[in-house]
């Protein structure tokens, strides 16, 4: 792992750890922004989820904010320390979606509030993009899918080469057997004459 990659991961992860810690400890500051999203999303998730899971989805926005904060801390620590980097960054991406939606300025907002809201929304979109890219990072090593396709290509190429060689060998054997048969036929003819 390069020092630059470690530093970049640590910087990106620190944002999520700090903000997640704030959300987990003091969720009241974020409840007002999260309330409209929770009112729309929670009932939808409860309808779609299996009954055994739907019963465990909290209805209280404060609890959802805390859970999101804990997920950000865990994801940030995992990504920053390099423990399950890809799943951790995918978890961070999932946590960022509500933040992007919540940052959209309201209809009755003043020009200053809209400008500040757009700035925060763009920051959240940039962070979402960063963790999405991070969720696909393999640190320069090919993924399992790529390695499997590459191995398949090499095996297919080797099999094709074997097929050519076997065909050539069969052709050579056929020529030798024809020559042998021809010599045997000539020797039989000369013996009969």
- pLDDT recorded at residue 37: 85
Residue 57 phi/psi, 5° resolution?
Answer: -80, 120
What is the full DSSP assignment across 93-127? HHHHHHHHHHTSPPTT--HHHHHHHHHHHHHHHHH
Residue 193 — very low, low, confident or very high, per pLDDT cuts 50/70/90? low
Confidence of residue 14 (pLDDT cuts 50, 70, 90): very high
* Residue range 152-174: mean pLDDT, rounded: 80
* Half-sphere exposure of residue 171: CA atoms within 13 angstroms, side-chain side: 6
Q: Contact at 8 Å (CB) between 66 and 23?
A: yes
**Residue 79 contacts residue 88 (beta carbons within 8 Å):** yes
Report how far apart, in Å, the C-alpha atoms of 144 and of each of 78, 115, 126, 137, 138 are: 21, 44, 28, 13, 10
Question: Please, are residues 61 and 31 in contact by the beta-carbon 8 Å criterion?
Answer: yes
Instruction: Return d(Cα 141, Cα 80) in angstroms, integer.
Output: 19
The residue among 113, 115, 114, 101 whose CA lies nearest residue 68 is 101
pLDDT in tens, 20-78: 999 999 998 888 888 888 888 888 888 888 888 888 888 888 988 999 999 999 999 99
pLDDT at 158 over 90: no
Contact 91, 57 (CB under 8 A): no
Query: Tens digits of per-residue pLDDT, 77-117?
Result: 999 888 888 899 999 999 898 888 887 777 777 888 888 88
Torsions phi, psi of 56, nearest 5?
Answer: -95, -5
Asked if residues 76 and 20 have their Cβ atoms less than 8 Å apart, the reply is: yes
1 band by pLDDT with thresholds 50, 70 and 90: low
User: Helix (H, G, I), strand (E, B), or coil: what is residue 170?
Assistant: helix
Please give the pLDDT value at position 61: 86
């Amino acid at each position: 792992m390069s020092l630059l990659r470690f530093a970049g991961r640590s910087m990106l992860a620190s944002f999520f750890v700090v903000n997640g810690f704030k959300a987990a400890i003091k969720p009241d500051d974020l409840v007002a922004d999260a309330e409209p999203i929770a009112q729309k999303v929670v009932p939808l998730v409860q309808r779609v989820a299996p009954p055994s899971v739907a019963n465990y989805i909290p209805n209280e926005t404060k609890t959802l904010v805390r859970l999101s904060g804990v997920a950000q801390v865990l994801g940030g620590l995992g990504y920053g320390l390099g423990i399950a980097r890809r799943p951790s960054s995918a978890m961070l991406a999932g946590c960022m979606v509500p933040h992007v939606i919540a940052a959209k300025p309201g209809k009755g907002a003043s020009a200053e509030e809209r400008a500040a809201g757009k700035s925060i929304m763009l920051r959240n979109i940039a962070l979402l993009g960063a963790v999405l890219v991070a969720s696909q990072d393999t640190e320069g090593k090919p993924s399992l899918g790529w390695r499997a396709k590459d191995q398949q290509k090499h095996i297919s190429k080797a099999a094709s080469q074997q097929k050519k060689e076997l065909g050539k060998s069969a052709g050579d054997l056929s020529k030798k057997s024809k020559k042998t048969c021809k010599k045997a036929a000539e020797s039989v003819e000369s013996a009969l004459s």
